[in-house]
Structure 1
Amino acid sequence: MSELVLTSLRKTYGPTVAVDDVSLTVREGELVALLGPSGCGKTTTLRMVAGFIEPTAGQIVIGGRDVTHLPPHRRDTGMVFQSYALFPHMTVAQNVAFGLEMRNVPKAEAEKRVADALSLVRLGHLGERYPRQLSGGQQQRVALARALVVNPGVFLLDEPLSNLDAKLRLEVRVEIRELQRRLGLTTVFVTHDQEEALTLADRLVVMANGVVQQVGTPEELYESPANLFVAGFIGRSNVLAGRLVSPGRFESRGGLAVSVPADGRAAGPAALALRPERLTLAEPGAPVAPCMNSATGKLVLVTYLGATSEYRVDLRGDEVLTATLPTPPASDPLRRLAAGDPVTLTWPADACRLLAPDGAHDQGG
């Protein structure tokens, strides 16, 4: 295990800034996910750590050693690529042994380490097969074994599950997490899949336009997003534009008055983010607790999702809120709701998160 420290890491291509001033510490044995949309800089950051891309500026330290300008095979890293990058003319065992050959490991030791790595990923019986003779999940495990066999101080994974079908992706995700925990691997995992990141990572690093937007645990980013981008990218959020008119009181542009936590921020323009699962639904006229916010509107869409259902409610033409609720039983009156029906949404004040209206980092509370 090794600690990974990135300091003011930057990469430019001419006038284009791909990664801008990224500083991050990944502790020994920690799994950190770099998360963001395509083109956000997450893969460029990972490849700079691996040594495949030269930084324009900044420093990369692994296990206390500055590796910023060292070639990949001298960095104490193991990497799993999105495409697996297996050599088709080599057997499984030869593919796994490749990194050891690059490091001039003696043959006898290399054979033992290859056998141990394949056993670790439950492929000990397939060492003589070729990649074309394996399933997608098996090829993925070969790629994992090849990265692990060098005993890396830092384990790097670049969208390793994107080529697998949904069921297999879930299975391999669990296997990777169990393997990482069992071996205590310091790991950086790149993905654009928020569910993947939330279930795998100890901490998330959300990136956009080459800039780190927020770093924190899955719970911290979900419950307390730093800005509108994070609120929209981690999970789903209803967003209402408006202003804080007084401590604990927000008013949307459409005139909806909402009680919010009084967090000490000054009155002024703001955006309100509200998770769909924090909303409840009732028929108009149903009693509403005094401590709850409420808004009445017209149901425009009901989407049945099995265990849950989504309800889109038009409040004032340009303000629409989505509620995600457990699907009610067939006998429940809510089950019979249809587009065009009037409904009332309710939610507690502590479900509201006030953010800067332009998506800048929140300065409140």
Structure 2
Amino acid sequence: MGDLVLEALTKRYGGTVAVEDVDLEVRQGEMVALLGPSGCGKTTTLRMVAGFITPSAGHVRIAGQDVTRRPPYARDTGMVFQSYALFPHMSVAQNVAFGLEMRRVGRTERETRVMEALRLVRLDHLADRLPGQLSGGQQQRVALARALVVNPAVFLLDEPLSNLDAKLRGEVRMEIRSLQQRLGLTTLIVTHDQEEALTMADRLVVMERGRVRQVGTAEELYESPRDPFVAGFVGRCNLIEGQPEGTAGFRARGGALLPCTTAAAPVGTGGVLALRPERIALAAAAPGEGAARLEAVTYLGAQTEYVVDYAGTSLVVIRATPPEGDPLRRLAPGDAVALTWDPAAARLLPAQ
């Protein structure tokens, strides 16, 4: 049995269902990310695990023990809040020691464990500072130390990087992942940031409207999404509505016939074709020769994004930015272009 198991976990507020029948196992030493748009139920799920919200139905098990009705302090969890929730009048060391004091850990052991935790996050030299005297990244590491110092069976992170700037977010993300792996922490993290989830977690749980849409590794969700929502949420994706035409391909609503080896479904059944932008090759075409017309070009540094009208269907294409002198570098809106892709790269999904 994994260190954390959720069984049919549900939360209702009157007639509104916030979380419905969530089943999940987080294995020992694994980091799992709850990923989804705002209001999808991921934070509610995390808070039910922590004990701050009482489930309407279902169970939370930690290390084989049913903790569904236990208060937060009796669950053997350590939580890092989105706002850090540091006590402004307490020093760094006092903030980290707070959880140990609540557990009535003796002073000598408490001081030793506090300094060990601060050394883990490289803040032992700032033990006497107040939170207001620290940078955002340092405050985040204090919050991490406070959660780690109690040696939790399960480590919980609620949008831990959302208050940091982009550069600092990348640095702290690497620190959290390194700590989690080094200490073998069973971790559940909530995020709406795809990059954060893809780079940190062993597995991802994509949620929408309180329900789990798919669970898997980053590669599984990216390469084999079960439905259009997952395909569109995990990475960029062209989602084209239409219907398969046997082995001929996929007929988009705009009229284009798109190559697709997975289109051998019954003719006339609706569906959605998922095609990743980076899987499409693009080339300049002579006027009148191209089946597609370039609508927009956006330079993104190492990559360039092209929006193309392909026989009445709009497609996004992402390619490595061509070097100076390459004909693709001179492409402009209105130019004729040719698009090609491996038919196996286009995935047929059921209608939303």
TM-score if structure 2 supplies the norm length?
0.96
2:273 paired residue number: 272
Residue number in structure 2 paired with 1:309? 304
Which residues of 2 match residues 93-132 of structure 1 at below 5 A? Answer: 93-132=93-132
* CA contact 1:311–1:324 (8 Å) conserved in 2: yes
Is the counterpart of residue 220 in structure 1 residue 220 in structure 2?
yes
SS at 2:295 equivalent: strand
Conserved? CA contact 1:9–1:21, under 8 Å: yes
- Return the letter of the residue paired with 2:250: F
**Could you tell me how far 1:247 is from its partner in structure 2?**
4.0
Note the residue ranges of structure 1 that are not aligned, 5 or more in a row: 287-293, 360-365
1:270 is matched by which residue type in structure 2?
G
Q: What's the TM-score once normalised by structure 1's chain length?
A: 0.93
Instruction: Indicate the residue corresponding to 1:60 in structure 2.
Output: 60
2:33·2:191 contact (CA, 8 Å) conserved in 1?
yes
The amino acid of 1:271's aligned partner reads: V
CA positional deviation for 1:315 = 2.3
Instruction: Answer yes or no: is the 8 Å Cα contact 1:248–1:262 preserved in 2.
Output: no
Shift in Å at residue 2 of structure 1? 6.3
Structure 1 residue 269: deviation in Å? Answer: 1.0
> In the aligned structure 2, how far is the partner of 1:295 from the partner of 1:240?
20
Offset, 1:107: 1.2
Within 5 A, what are the aligned runs for 1:298-337? 298-317=293-312, 319-337=313-331
Alignment partner, residue 345 of structure 2: 351
Aligned residues: 350
1:15-30 superposed matches below 5 A: 15-30=15-30
- Greater displacement, 68-77 / 240-249: 240-249
Measured against aligned partners, the alpha-carbon deviations of 1:78-115 in whole angstroms (never above 9, x if no partner) come to 00000000000111011001111111111111111101
In structure 2, runs of 5+ residues without a counterpart are none
Say if 2:177 is the partner of 1:177.
yes
The Cα RMSD (Å) is 1.6
Q: For residue 80 of structure 2, what is the aligned residue in structure 1?
A: 80
Q: Contact 1:295/1:346 (CA < 8 Å) preserved in 2?
A: no
- In structure 1, distance between residues paired with 2:265 and 2:186: 39
Which residue identity does 2:315 align to in structure 1?
A: L
Who is 1:284 aligned against? 285
Task: Give the match's secondary structure for 2:196.
Answer: helix
Whether contact under 8 Å (2:250, 2:263) holds in the other structure is no
Identity %: 65
1:37 aligns with 2:37: yes
Partners of 1:230 and 1:301 lie apart in 2 by 26
Deviates more, 1:80-89 or 1:306-315: 306-315
- Matched with 2:200 is 200
- Cα deviation digits, residues 124-181 of structure 1 (max 9, x gap): 1111110001000000000000000000000000000000000000000000000000
Q: Is the 8 A contact 1:295 1:315 kept in 2?
A: no
**Alpha carbons of structure 1 residues 279 and 264: separation in structure 2 relative to 1, 3 Å:** closer
Q: Distance in 2 between matches of 1:117 and 1:264?
A: 57
